Structure 1
Amino acid sequence: MFAVLKTGGKQYKVQSGDVLRVEKLAATAGEKIQFNEILMVGSTIGAPLVEGAAVQAEVIDQIKGEKLIHYVKRRRKHSSQRRKGHRQQLTLLRVTDILEKGADKSGVKAAVGAGSVSGAAVAAAAPKAAAKKAAPKAEKKAAPAKSAGGDDLKKLSGVGPALEKKLHEAGVTTFAQIAAWGADDIAEMDEKLSFKGRIEREGWVEQAKELAK
């Protein structure tokens, strides 16, 4: 009987006793592992996987593939070239058994790619992810409301929504407050709001006196 398994993004047709090389797995020599992504067993084709099927194998060794040369050359005025070698890390294993059913009851460690998150870790993280998804989103912080009886300070020359907000945060909400400013108050507000000379230049005090009537 044969099976088609999937690992490392590739598919392999195997029979019991076959020796094959696959993308490196997180396992040591002599360890028994089980592939659970089975696309086909005999004449049974999965949709996409065959439910309950598995392929068990024994790890023979961790090896490296043949050396591949990657060569790049750019033929331009300022030409450049680069040569780089690479040897893919692989796992050599021998297929020991093909299970049509009962894969979940075998108790054999699942084959996991080197550097991948194990199935146990994924299972442990799932409740946290579900709780995070179910948690209601925090409501947006409401903008500070205008004080009762506050005036529309945007009527002053050069005052927009952003500047009006700064004035509110500084405790200024009415034209009467601005109309009552003296030289010291203007200097203090210039310093606090970082726009020196603007109050006198725009004539806020005179405008506020008119608007407060």
Structure 2
Amino acid sequence: MFAVIKTGGKQYRVAPNDVLKIEKIAGEAGEIVQLGNVLAVGEGADVKIGLPVVEGATVAVEVVEQGRGPKVIAFKKRRRQNSRRKRGHRQELTTIRVTEILVEGAKPAKKAAKKAAAKEEAAAE
């Protein structure tokens, strides 16, 4: 089964257990987030295309990590004018793993990992 989702102004074709980097979304590492802009859902030749989104379809993803992309330098120079400008930019990115593709309003089966409980257990030991 696959789905086409829209997030961050881009469209991605995803399947369960896919790992990809998208523009930053809210959530901490280990948290389950649902993405609701599902443009198409299908399996094999049976594809359901939304107008513009498929009703009741969501994609449950697990946030793997929050990070930043590579630095991009924007350098502008006007020759013989003693004019130049240098700016850098690093895009905020989120690495996600697709856990399930849900249709007809189903809820995700997997729960978010408990970070606080894991820290307490480590401290107790």
TM-score range, shorter chain: 0.7 to 0.9
Counterpart amino acid of residue 67 in structure 1: K
The equivalent residue for 1:32 is 32
The equivalent residue for 1:121 is none
Measured against aligned partners, the alpha-carbon deviations of 1:75-128 in whole angstroms (never above 9, x if no partner) come to 35x33111222110111110000012115xx279xxxxxxxxxxxxxxxxxxxx
Counterpart amino acid of residue 94 in structure 1: R
The equivalent residue for 2:65 is 61
Q: Does 2:51 match 1:47?
A: yes
Is 2:3–2:38's contact at 8 Å kept on the other side of the alignment?
yes
Counterpart amino acid of residue 53 in structure 1: A
Counterpart amino acid of residue 27 in structure 1: G
Q: Tell me which of 71, 81, 85 is aligned to 1:82.
A: 85
Q: Structure 1 residue 22: deviation in Å?
A: 0.9
TM-score by length of 1: 0.47
Q: Tell me which of 76, 80, 98 is aligned to 1:72.
A: 76
The equivalent residue for 2:14 is 14
| Greater share of residues in helix | 1
Q: What RMSD in Å do the two structures reach over aligned CA positions? A: 1.6
* Structure with the greater alpha carbon radius of gyration: 1
SS of alignment partner, residue 47 of structure 1: coil
Is 2:6–2:39's contact at 8 Å kept on the other side of the alignment?
yes
Task: Calculate percent identity across the aligned residue pairs.
Answer: 55
Moved over 3 A (4+): none
Gaps of 5+ in 2: 110-125
Counterpart amino acid of residue 80 in structure 1: S
